[in-house]
Chain A
């Protein structure tokens, strides 16, 4: 019952959103929401903290951008190629990272994604510090012109809903139950005869592919790709989104991604508003201090708000609710 309500609300809200919000901004929000959902599949449902997810988002963005602009392929192929890049990259990185457990896993993913960052910094086709600029949107299947923001919005919306549905299906499948068992008690899952590493690798690849899908879609929306998407600060950002929203909740990452993205984009305006309200000069600088504020939110979340927004709501109402 509740599941149906959630899906209906999401569906209607998504369909009506461009009437209220600027479509390009809304599309950006959706891409980050998909990214955070893909990340949550690992941390929330398998207990693996990846600190290298920027590699999949940014890497897929670069490959999709290259295919779209320099090879002139049509947008659907850009998205497919980007997603494939995410999957293959995740297979390579995951294969190495799952050889160690716990905190080592996190450090390995971070180090490997940093290696990819240096690769993209030096590779000839990425434009170095300038990034890939002027990536065309083209026409979907050669028929539907995506230069119209609203048309593209509904494509992005369909992609997002597909990703969300896929994650939902995964969590509630027998496969998802095994993942949960690994999260709760890995030695026990092993002793029950599950090939834990195969499950971990599979979910890592799925998560990487979905993050790649988000990255490829993002590049289609914005028309450029820069190094900031492959940098480790992006990996940190997606951790924060998921943490703020609620680890291991279905809706948490979406809310968290919206919250953090809006905060990042509107920090200057919020600062200006606070300055007029309180008269404190310093607030005018808030726009330049985004990292300080994100750091502060991180610290606050870890110290006293570990359930996140949705997790806290669920805990308060203590009904099974949305999950």
Chain B
């Protein structure tokens, strides 16, 4: 079977790759949105945290023979703790200032993290193999489905929807949403808002690290693997707007798929298509697809 002269199986496998990328966009933009909601900080270091998740996974295996499944929870935990330290020592002093200082600080932090990793591990990629249980592929008749990629999409979707559920449907999430609207009032009700802020940053960063673990077997693990990614995620955030959790998830997935299709039909534009969509969206609907102008 063919689609516009390109074999259907090729289109479908690119579509799957697009979904994999889209899952990463979704997790990362979700984390950015959660952090921005409560802290009013755009976390430039999100890409670096993604990279740290992958690097820690690689280090866990290389130095301590820790399996992929262990790192799946250990890496986000470690990187999350690192995020907590950053919030406690630096970010918390900036909340009263203009938003842009938060961005500049996390930009500086990004440069430092990436610089340190590059000094130790060099710039070239390190390889990390797919865990045994997920090796191989399943033949679905119309296409061959690599098991690991399917796992990445499913795992990210589960994590995204769990986050959505916690924030929108539980009491904890209600506090969080209330804190986003009016932190002083929430504090007056006896809730420890500074602690909530710290944990939120740690959680957002842990989400990025989780995506990093998932990415480790697919991409080359390298100190700069998150540095271009974060800019695409910024574009995703501009397109979707940061007001809605579900909006972030859907925009991330959708753009990944569109990028996948572009790779099939017009590969030259595959690295710029997200930015072009951003420009078009800004032109037609300045507030973003799901956003409301504050």
Contact = CB atoms under 8 A, between A and B. Distances in A.
B111 A298 contact: yes
Contacts, number: 115
B112 interface: yes
B238 A107 contact: yes
A21 B10 CA distance: 60
Interface of B: 36, 42, 90, 93-94, 97, 99-101, 103-105, 107-116, 118-119, 228, 231-232, 234-235, 237-238, 268, 271-272, 275-276, 278-279, 282-283, 286-287, 293
A49 B103 contact: yes
Contacts of B101: 302, 306
Contacts of B228: 114
A239 B110 CA distance: 15
Nearest to A108: B238
Query: By DSSP majority rule, is chain A's interface helix, strand, loop, or mixed?
Result: helix
Contacts of B112: 291-292, 295-296, 299
Contact of A292 (B116, B268, B276): B116
B108 A297 contact: yes
A99 interface: yes
B103 A103 contact: yes
B5 to A, nearest CB: 23
A96 B108 contact: no
Interface string A274-292: 0000000000010011111
A102 to B, nearest CB: 6
A176 B99 CA distance: 24
Contacts of B42: 103, 106-107
B108 A104 contact: no
A299 B91 CA distance: 10
A292 B282 contact: no
B235 to A, nearest CB: 4
A176 to B, nearest CB: 21
A110 interface: yes
B100 A49 contact: yes
A22 interface: no
A104 B238 contact: yes
B278 A108 contact: yes
Interface in A286-320: 288-292, 294-299, 301-303, 306
Given A118-B272, A295-B111, A303-B90, 8 more contacts: A97-B282, A106-B100, A111-B231, A112-B279, A114-B231, A118-B271, A299-B105, A301-B108
Contacts of A175: none
B229 to A, nearest CB: 11
B107 A236 contact: yes
A100 interface: yes
Nearest to A293: B115
A112 B115 contact: no
Contacts of B278: 108, 111-112
B108 A298 contact: yes
A243 B101 CA distance: 10
A291 B118 contact: yes
A298 B100 CA distance: 13
A25 interface: no
Interface in A155-214: none
B109 A295 contact: yes
Contacts of B90: 299, 303
A128 to B, nearest CB: 13
B268 A122 contact: yes
A89 to B, nearest CB: 13
